[in-house]
Structure 1
Amino acid sequence: MACSSYKNKTVQLIKCFCGCSDMTVAEVKRIYLLSNSVQQTLVDADATKLLRRFMESRRNGDKVEAEQYLDIYEKCAEFLAESQRTFTQDEVDELVDLGLPYDLEQDLSKRMLSANRTDISCGLNRIQGRCRNEIEASSDYRDFRDAITAKMRRVPQ
């Protein structure tokens, strides 16, 4: 009985920024609410993916600064999740290749030499904080929020 009632329901979909997939109205509303906070957007995988697609769709050539900060933020999250892994200069170099600013590179290198996992985690969290602030201050994030707002206007009430 439950299956037959499910078949009779229609799901309204809204195109993604890049046109590659469709989003349900509920998903657009959820991400709209998240977009008021950069932190909430960055910890939500779907919202982060949508932000990345938005920035990629507007790119002409090289990545914009906000996109580089997003890459660094995500790489730091990956390193923080791997608590058993030894943090080495290779990881610092990986972040540098993504565009890590020099002052943060120097700070993280010093922490890495201490080999104290708590100290390294603090350094990675500090980097994420800077990245979050830079993303929030970018016109790319403001434009993303505006685009989500425009999507919400197209959603029937």
Structure 2
Amino acid sequence: MACSSYKNKTVQLIKCFCGCSDMTISEVRRIYTLSNSVHETLLDPEATRLLQKFMETRRSGDKNEAEQYLEIYEKCAEFLAEHQRTFTQDEVDELVDMGLPYDLEQDLSRRMLSADRTDINRGLYRIQGKCRNEIEASSDFRDFRDAIADKMRRVPK
């Protein structure tokens, strides 16, 4: 009988930017709140995925800088999560292939040679900070926030 209480409830859904999925109104509100901060947005996997999809839908041709910085940010997060793995030049090269700026490459390479995981992690966090700042400064993130705000205006009160 407990399930019968859900029979008459409807869930309102809003289309994702790419049309791939529907979002509940509470999810739109949650992401709208997160979108006030690039940092908070990037810490939330669903909000990050939505930002990524938003940038993809606007792309014509190669990835722009903001997309590259988002990819680098996420790759650094993967490396930071791998505590047991040895960090090598291959990982640095992978970030370089994604568009890591030269000064950050040099800094990370120096840290990698020290083989001190704490120092390497500081370098990865430094890269994430640079990426976060670049994403925040991009018109892509401002447009993303505006698009979320526009979705919020369509949400019934």
Q: TM-score, normalised by structure 2?
A: 0.99
Q: Any residues of structure 2 matched to 1:5-154 within 5 Å, and which?
A: 5-154=5-154
Q: How far did 1:2 drift?
A: 1.9
C-alpha distance after superposition, 1:34-57 (max 9, x if no partner): 000100000100000000000000
Q: How far did 1:99 drift?
A: 0.4
CA–CA distance in structure 1, aligned partners of residues 7 and 79 of structure 2: 43
CA–CA distance in structure 2, aligned partners of residues 7 and 122 of structure 1: 52
Q: Secondary structure at the match of 1:23?
A: strand
The answer for unaligned runs of 5 or more in structure 2 is none
After the TM superposition, list the runs of 4 or more consecutive aligned residues in structure 1 that deviate by more than 3 angstroms: none
CA–CA distance in structure 1, aligned partners of residues 8 and 87 of structure 2: 53
Q: How far did 1:8 drift?
A: 1.6
Q: Secondary structure at the match of 1:108?
A: helix
Q: Secondary structure at the match of 1:142?
A: helix
Cα root mean square deviation, aligned = 0.5
CA–CA distance in structure 2, aligned partners of residues 7 and 134 of structure 1: 47
Q: How far did 1:7 drift?
A: 2.1
The answer for unaligned runs of 5 or more in structure 1 is none
CA–CA distance in structure 2, aligned partners of residues 65 and 41 of structure 1: 18
Matched residue type, 1:12: Q
More displaced stretch, 1-10 vs 21-30: 1-10
Q: Which residue of 2 aligns with 1:4?
A: 4
Fraction of identical pairs, as percent: 82
CA–CA distance in structure 2, aligned partners of residues 68 and 2 of structure 1: 48
Matched residue type, 2:144: F
CA–CA distance in structure 1, aligned partners of residues 64 and 131 of structure 2: 13
Q: Provide the aligned length of Structure 1 versus Structure 2.
A: 157
CA–CA distance in structure 1, aligned partners of residues 17 and 131 of structure 2: 23
